[in-house]
Amino acid sequence: MRRGAVLRLLRFPGLLFAIAAGALILGTVSASAPVFLSSVGSLTLHRYVEQASEDELPALVVTIDSTPASDVIAYRTRLLERELDGVLGTPIVTARGDQVTAAGPHGSSQVRIVTRSDALAHVEVVERGQAEGVWLADFTADALGLAPGDRVSITGSAGAATIPVAGVYADLLRQPRTPFWSTLDDFIYPSATDNTRPPAFVLMELDTYVDLEARLHDDQDVLSWEFPLPTGPRSLDDARATVGAIARLRSRLSNVALDVGSAFGRVNTTEPYSGWVAQADDVVAAIEGPVQTLSLAGRAIGLALLAGAGIFMVRRRRIELAVLRVRGVGPVRAGARTAAETLVPVALGTALGWIVAVAVVRAAEPTATVAAASVRSAAWAATTTGVLGVALLAVVSGRATSDRGEHGLDRARRAASRIPWDVLLLGAAALAFLGLREQGSGDGAAATELDRLLLLFPILFIAGAAGLAARGLRWLVPWMRRTGSRLRVAPYLASRRLAAAPSQAATLLVGATVAIGILVYAGTVTASIDATATQEGSLAIGSDASIVYTGPDPVLGDATFAATAVVRFQRASFAGTDEDLDVLAVDGPTFAHAAYWQSQFASEPLDALIDQLGRQAEGRLPLLLVGSIAAPDDAVLDVSGYDLPVSVAATPRTFPGIVGDRPLAVVDRAVLEDALAERSGSIDRMAHSSEVWARASEEDLLAFARTQDTTVIASSDAAELRSTPSYLALSSMLRFLAATGGLAAVVVLLGTHLYLQARQRQAEASYALLRRMGLSRDAHRRSVALELLGLLFVAFSIGGGLAIIASLLVNADLQTGPLDASVTLFRAPLVLLASTAGALVVASWAGAMLVQRRADRTNVAEVMRVAG
């Protein structure tokens, strides 16, 4: 083999481009699976952490039920920091005592003494004094008549002390919630059923707290160390290492033979990180099978593209290979020669594909982190597949160099053409669809039950139907020949070109149909799932955003957006039955304007349903009954111990405010209030929660609540459903499917390039003759553009239509399980369809320009000499 063998392909730039591009696709697909799975795991974990960090301080909390001397606390702190060195940072040390009484000139008040690291950096300072001492909430200071510099008397259950007031801070109960104080929320904010506020905090430094506790003889102290957990993007590998370190700490804390175990004794540790990592692992496990299936399919497509390039290479170099056979070069040597020629472009292509896969995954999810081990795994996958690609090219070339190579290839091609691949694929698609129905992806399946059939069914279905369409194209060849003669020049030439190469056109049609079908299927299902997820989130919270509050009802007329107040009762039931249900008391005048509603939720409009609740009939309370429950005859509803005769006005399919699959009864608040008043009851004393639903963002609703004399217990918005493991698993799998469809579309463009290359070589002589007969360049360019556009738009119509059909077939089953959707939505991706159609037009015209450019460089005299 000569030293310059690796450079021979430079004489065939189009062929070199096809091989390198095929290797690029092969490397990208091979490397994408491990880095994508790593990215999904990291992104899922980050979403959990990010969501929790909005309202909480994610931390490992180590708690004991005593507050010893300051030096002992410092010793224990050093032990914990040693055990977690390099894993977690400096802890927040918190100690809180029992309720005590603080007294001043104007009276006394119940308070709770608290110390917390850097507490004063996380409060609003109202007034600061010069002396050291304790800090009072302005609520407490006003009630007791105290200011900085005064002394406050604090009395516990077994002692008393007097201590200076160092400053006054803004009462935490009246301030917006912050993550720093989240671990003490239960001691700051009242529960939904409490009508009194918890005692305000008296804040102080740790040494002051320890001294004061000793003087009060309080033995109800709780001391905790909170190690903030990492909140930035991390790979799952790094997160698992953190979880392992936490598990190691727990094990050592329980071992009294160790210094750290003997120093803490009975200790409690809590942290949310292990749960988040486990949920992220569940999401990755749920999609790993389908993603690997897609990766294998993508590798097969890439290898098929390389095989196609190899066959094209054989045809372009037919004379050269014939000379090699005459010189006695056998298949093995010819294959080795081809391997040497293609090794560099394939190696460069697969290496670039690996780089592209890692870069695209990182760019698509900038908040995700790809583990180094996954990057190495991706490199290994790209390398091994690239080696397989070189071997495939060598086999194709070696087979063609054998004495009966070309005849063998022709016989194999003819034998393969007699197999009804399209029918077999459609049969497999039918089996996959039946498998989906039997497994019941809509029966409340967990994220880990996402099945490969969800991806195999549409691919098999679209590929099989595309094969039937290709058969139809061959049957249309005679018709195209007859019809084309009556057309203008450009359409006539396009029809003749298609009729002259039906096999090549059919191959391109199948490939384009499958690629477009996968892309449209992924876009359709993703759009439908996004719409359903948004709907389910809005149904669960009632509107765009909601809050749970205590205190007086807010004045909704002051809001700049539509809002309504509702009251929820839990554990109600019909007399004589055991099934619990929720009762939702709505405000008739405002509910229909603020609640989330779709016409498919019921056979009547929402305002008509609400009107039916506004009046009692024959002493019975009218209600809407939602869910899998039926009211008995002469039904009596037990609400918080009160028996209320009711009548069912309507049974909507679903209703805003429904929680999961728990049945719901909806009543008018004013009518319910009257019914309870007749029985000496009151909504305010009986309700489990009071809520405000609003057509606004969560931020705007919270800002409005701060202007009212209400205390927000919790808030939520419709987007929260998108962070469930099931939704994340499904949406991640569909993103990978869409990416695979995009790569398949690139493969089709490369296939189009090979198609044009082959057609250009075959048409050079005819083009030269037609140019002598007066064919214009514009007419020739338009004919090529029409040829490609016709093929690609047939593929677009068939692939897009089949994708929509496949989406309709699996839409309900696909959504019901991961989303637990009561009403599933279907959305066609109109923007994707329009952009795909536009891309096909551009690709067709660009291909025609390329063909025309090459035709213009053709040596007509040489072509005519060879043809003659």
Mean pLDDT by 10 residues, the chain (868 residues): 52 68 82 88 86 84 86 92 91 91 92 94 90 91 93 89 94 86 88 75 93 81 91 89 93 90 88 91 83 79 72 62 60 71 84 88 80 91 88 74 52 60 80 72 43 76 82 65 59 63 71 83 84 82 88 86 92 85 92 90 90 81 89 86 89 88 90 87 81 90 85 78 65 75 72 64 55 61 77 86 88 68 80 88 80 63 49
Secondary structure (3-state) at 198:
coil
Exposure string for 91-121, b = 16+ CB within 10 A, e = fewer: bbbbbbbbebebbbeeeebebbbbbbbebee
> At 80, which amino acid appears?
L
Contact 181, 160 (CB under 8 A): no
Structure confidence at residue 375 (pLDDT) = 92
Is 705 within a domain? Answer: yes
Structure confidence at residue 246 (pLDDT) = 93
Same domain, 119 and 7: no
Which structure tokens are listed for 294? Answer: 């897609």
Question: Is residue 633 classed exposed, middle or buried when 0-12, 13-18 and 19+ CB atoms within 10 A define those classes?
Answer: exposed
Same domain, 595 and 614: yes
Question: Is residue 494 classed exposed, middle or buried when 0-12, 13-18 and 19+ CB atoms within 10 A define those classes?
Answer: buried
Structure confidence at residue 481 (pLDDT) = 56
DSSP lists the bridge partners of residue 627 as: none
Is 502 within a domain? Answer: no
Would you give the end-to-end CA distance of the chain in angstroms?
A: 35
Query: Which alpha helices (DSSP H) does 117-232 contain, by range?
Result: 138-144, 185-188, 206-216
Ranges assigned E (strand) in 575-641:
581-586, 621-626, 636-639
Question: Is residue 145 classed exposed, middle or buried when 0-12, 13-18 and 19+ CB atoms within 10 A define those classes?
Answer: exposed
Query: Tokens 């055991």 identify what position?
Result: 578
| Domain boundary residue, one of 683, 709, 735 | 709
For residue 556, what are the CA distances in angstroms to 57, 562, 587, 693?
Answer: 32, 8, 11, 10
> At 85, which amino acid appears?
D
> At 387, which amino acid appears?
V
CA distance 370 to 40: 9
CA distance 763 to 73: 89
The packing angle between helices 777-819 and 489-500, to 10°, is 60
Exposure string for 470-485, b = 16+ CB within 10 A, e = fewer: beebeeebeebeeebe
Contact 721, 541 (CB under 8 A): no
DSSP lists the bridge partners of residue 95 as: 115, 223
The packing angle between helices 13-53 and 331-364, to 10°, is 30
Structure confidence at residue 447 (pLDDT) = 41
What is the enclosing helix (H) or strand (E) of 790? helix 777-819
Number of compact structural domains in the chain: 3
Structure confidence at residue 78 (pLDDT) = 94
* Per-residue DSSP letter, 403: T
DSSP lists the bridge partners of residue 665 as: 583, 625
Which residues touch 828 (CB under 8 Å, ≥6 apart)?
524, 527, 804
Same domain, 263 and 324: no
Other C-beta atoms closer than 10 Å to the C-beta of 538 total: 24
> At 367, which amino acid appears?
T
| Domain boundary residue, one of 685, 709, 733 | 709
Secondary structure (3-state) at 570:
strand
Same domain, 142 and 198: yes
Other C-beta atoms closer than 10 Å to the C-beta of 466 total: 25
Structure confidence at residue 506 (pLDDT) = 73
CA distance 725 to 280: 7
Is 350 within a domain? Answer: yes
| Domain boundary residue, one of 398, 419, 440 | 419
Same domain, 221 and 84: yes
Task: Tell how far CA 588 is from the center of its chain.
Answer: 37
Same domain, 348 and 324: yes
Cα pseudo-dihedral 644, 647, 653, 659, rounded to 10: 0
DSSP lists the bridge partners of residue 515 as: none
Structure confidence at residue 473 (pLDDT) = 66
Contact 499, 476 (CB under 8 A): no
Is 259 within a domain? Answer: yes
Same domain, 661 and 688: yes
Exposure string for 11-20, b = 16+ CB within 10 A, e = fewer: ebebbbbbbb
Same domain, 284 and 409: yes
Which structure tokens are listed for 705? Answer: 């609540």
CA distance 60 to 273: 8
Query: Which alpha helices (DSSP H) does 402-546 contain, by range?
Result: 405-417, 421-439, 453-475, 477-484, 489-500, 502-541
Query: Tokens 């917390």 identify what position?
Result: 116
Is 10 within a domain? Answer: yes
Is 29 within a domain? Answer: yes
Contact 550, 691 (CB under 8 A): no
Same domain, 72 and 33: no
Same domain, 565 and 627: yes
Which structure tokens are listed for 124? Answer: 């609003």
Give the dihedral sign, CA 854/855/861/865: positive
Is 31 within a domain? Answer: yes
* Per-residue DSSP letter, 117: T
Which structure tokens are listed for 781? Answer: 């360019």
Residue 85, CA atoms < 13 Å, CB-side half-sphere? 4
At residue 572, φ and ψ (nearest 5 deg) are -85, 165
For residue 381, what are the CA distances in angstroms to 368, 569, 744?
Answer: 21, 57, 19
Same domain, 266 and 279: no
pTM exceeds 0.75, yes or no:
no
Structure confidence at residue 442 (pLDDT) = 41
Same domain, 39 and 158: no
Which residues form the domain of 633? 552-709
Which residues touch 848 (CB under 8 Å, ≥6 apart)?
781, 782, 784, 785, 788
Which structure tokens are listed for 663? Answer: 């049945």
DSSP lists the bridge partners of residue 337 as: none
Contact 108, 102 (CB under 8 A): yes
CA distance 15 to 379: 25
Other C-beta atoms closer than 10 Å to the C-beta of 612 total: 16
Is 720 within a domain? Answer: no
